[in-house]
């Protein structure tokens, strides 16, 4: 091989090495602000980070495509470099017009070749991309306790549990958690919805303590649409539910009425029947009070229950519209279990309350068949503690004279 040929080969080899070196130095991103998590903000800025300083070239452009179609084009780009004791890191910020891209789709960001170059050797980028998706909703939530766990009572501060999402959240209006007892809504609590670093969270604000009856099934539900992504109010939560079982070991007093107008009204014509409670209650939607023949063999009449709030008492009533009861027929008047719910304190409902109506001439004696109606009352329906001699009182539906 001649000297001229050796020089030519060395020159060609040097050119090849230089080209390979330049290609190897072409800037490729280490990371991106989109892609790792659901994209739940307007398309305003997406950033890339590089190992080494970079510079912006004329004609730099980026596009976003969905299903092969361009849906957005960059308005401008900015470059910055940061040098620490260990290395220099470059960043590229790509700005768009801030539109909200449609939900439930996948997108790809394309940075055109020749948009940036290495600050060290001027090598230009080849095309690089980043795929990201915009979800239909803010994603699944997790509670800080397991579904199906046993809960005896709220904490000393009234807390119950907290649910979390994988993105920052804000409240939609004034949302509430709903507590269900055996499938019936018994409480509504304001929902506190906020965010932490990369997380959204929500928990019910409960005033005071609350005990949960042992073996009773409860559900804590945050309705769909209660929370939205921090930067997009059209991306909201799906319904969130925690099911748990009550575990309070001691007996929780049930919810019972303290007075019924049937105790003193013994007419054989049934009009408005009322039950008085000495604590705040509400009536379950669709609840009815019932009249049965005999000991509950045949339902003969039922009427919609409604609530009337009076001074220091809550009256649950139903209008039976002048139903004529037969003197020769025995009847039982019933408040079905769960028709009435305590409005505060422990989430308890009424047991099956029944009053047996008996008598051969019209409707005579009335006998509540639940033992919790034992308090005594005067003929005006006022609860009494110490009977006065010679006065007429009613206890368990029976009249007696004070001694």
Q: How much is the pLDDT for 10? A: 47
Q: Which helix (H) or strand (E) is 94 found in, with range? A: strand 88-99
Beta partners for 69? 66
User: Distance between CA 257 and CA 112 in Å, rounded?
Assistant: 77
Hey, how many other C-beta atoms are within 10 angstroms of the C-beta on 292?
20
Q: How much is the pLDDT for 295? A: 73
Residue 209 binned pLDDT confidence (cut-offs 50, 70, 90):
confident
Residue 251 binned pLDDT confidence (cut-offs 50, 70, 90):
confident
Percent of the chain exceeding pLDDT 90 equals 68
Beta partners for 149? 244
Find the mean pLDDT for residues 2-15.
51
Hey, how many other C-beta atoms are within 10 angstroms of the C-beta on 353?
24
User: How much is the pTM?
Assistant: 0.76
Which candidate, 90, 75, 71, 81, places its Cα nearest to that of 132? 71
What is the tens place of the pLDDT at every residue in 281-336? Answer: 999 999 999 999 987 789 999 999 999 988 788 999 999 999 999 888 889 999 99
Yes or no: say if 69 and 37 are a contact pair by the CB < 8 Å rule.
no
Burial class of residue 102 (count of CB atoms within 10 Å of its CB; 0-12, 13-18, 19+): exposed
Residue 393 pLDDT exceeds 60? yes
Percent of the chain exceeding pLDDT 70 equals 82
Q: How much is the pLDDT for 401? A: 58
Q: How much is the pLDDT for 263? A: 87
The answer to which of 35-44, 186-195, 217-226, 363-372 has the lowest mean pLDDT is 363-372
Token couple for 91: 């960043």
Q: How much is the pLDDT for 21? A: 46
Burial class of residue 62 (count of CB atoms within 10 Å of its CB; 0-12, 13-18, 19+): buried
What is the tens place of the pLDDT at every residue in 382-391? Answer: 556 667 665 6
Residue 35 pLDDT exceeds 90? no
The answer to which of 19-23, 50-54, 140-144 has the lowest mean pLDDT is 19-23
What average pLDDT is seen over the chain? 87
Find the mean pLDDT for residues 44-52.
97
Residues 6+ apart with CB under 8 A from 218: 151, 179, 180, 181, 212, 243, 244, 245, 246, 347
- Top mean pLDDT of 15-24, 39-48, 373-382 is at 39-48
Q: Which helix (H) or strand (E) is 8 found in, with range? A: helix 3-24
Residue 13 pLDDT exceeds 90? no
Residues 6+ apart with CB under 8 A from 382: none
What is the tens place of the pLDDT at every residue in 179-207? Answer: 999 999 999 999 999 999 889 999 999 98
Find the mean pLDDT for residues 356-365.
57
Find the mean pLDDT for residues 20-38.
79
Beta partners for 236? 228
User: Distance between CA 221 and CA 204 in Å, rounded?
Assistant: 10
Q: How much is the pLDDT for 22? A: 42
What is the tens place of the pLDDT at every residue in 254-274? Answer: 888 989 998 888 888 999 999
Residue 155 binned pLDDT confidence (cut-offs 50, 70, 90):
confident
Which candidate, 171, 179, 207, 176, places its Cα nearest to that of 190? 176
What is the tens place of the pLDDT at every residue in 108-136? Answer: 999 999 999 999 999 999 999 999 999 99
Q: How much is the pLDDT for 59? A: 95
Token couple for 356: 């047996």
Q: How much is the pLDDT for 207? A: 85
- Strand bridging mode 240-246 / 149-151: parallel
């Amino acid at each position: 091989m001649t000297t001229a040929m050796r020089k030519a080969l060395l020159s060609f080899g040097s050119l090849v090495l230089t080209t390979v070196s330049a290609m190897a130095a072409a800037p490729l991103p280490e990371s991106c602000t989109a892609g790792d998590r659901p994209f739940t903000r307007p398309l305003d800025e997406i950033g890339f980070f590089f190992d080494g300083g970079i510079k912006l070239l004329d004609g730099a452009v980026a596009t976003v495509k969905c299903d092969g179609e361009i849906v957005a084009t960059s308005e401008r780009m900015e470059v910055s470099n940061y040098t620490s004791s260990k290395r220099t890191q470059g960043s590229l910020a790509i700005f768009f017009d801030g539109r909200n891209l449609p939900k439930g789709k996948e997108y790809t960001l394309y940075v055109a070749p020749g948009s940036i170059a290495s600050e060290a050797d001027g090598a230009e980028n080849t095309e690089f991309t980043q795929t990201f998706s915009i979800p239909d909703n803010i994603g699944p939530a997790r509670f800080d306790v397991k579904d199906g766990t046993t809960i005896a009572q709220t904490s000393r501060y009234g807390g119950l549990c907290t649910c979390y999402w994988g993105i920052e959240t804000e409240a939609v209006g004034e949302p509430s958690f709903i507590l269900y007892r055996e499938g019936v809504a018994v409480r509504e609590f304001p929902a506190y919805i906020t965010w932490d670093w990369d997380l959204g969270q929500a928990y019910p604000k409960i005033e005071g303590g609350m005990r949960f009856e042992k073996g009773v099934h409860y559900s804590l539900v945050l309705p769909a649409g209660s929370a939205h992504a921090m930067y997009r109010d059209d991306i909201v939560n799906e319904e969130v539910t925690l099911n748990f079982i009550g575990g309070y070991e001691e007996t929780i007093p049930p919810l019972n009425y303290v007075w019924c107008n049937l105790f003193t009204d013994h007419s054989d014509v049934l009009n408005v029947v009322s039950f008085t409670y000495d604590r705040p209650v509400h009536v379950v939607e669709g609840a009815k009070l019932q009249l049965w023949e005999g000991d509950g063999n045949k339902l003969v009449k039922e009427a919609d229950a409604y609530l009337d709030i009076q001074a220091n008492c809550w009256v649950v009533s139903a209008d039976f519209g002048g139903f004529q009861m037969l003197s020769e027929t025995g009847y039982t008047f019933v408040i079905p279990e769960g028709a009435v719910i305590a409005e505060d304190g422990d989430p308890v409902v009424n047991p099956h309350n029944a009053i047996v109506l008996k008598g051969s001439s019209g409707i005579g004696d009335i006998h509540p068949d639940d033992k919790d109606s034992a308090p005594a009352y005067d003929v005006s329906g006022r609860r009494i503690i110490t009977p006065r001699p010679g006065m007429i009182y009613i206890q368990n539906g029976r009249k007696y004279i004070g001694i």
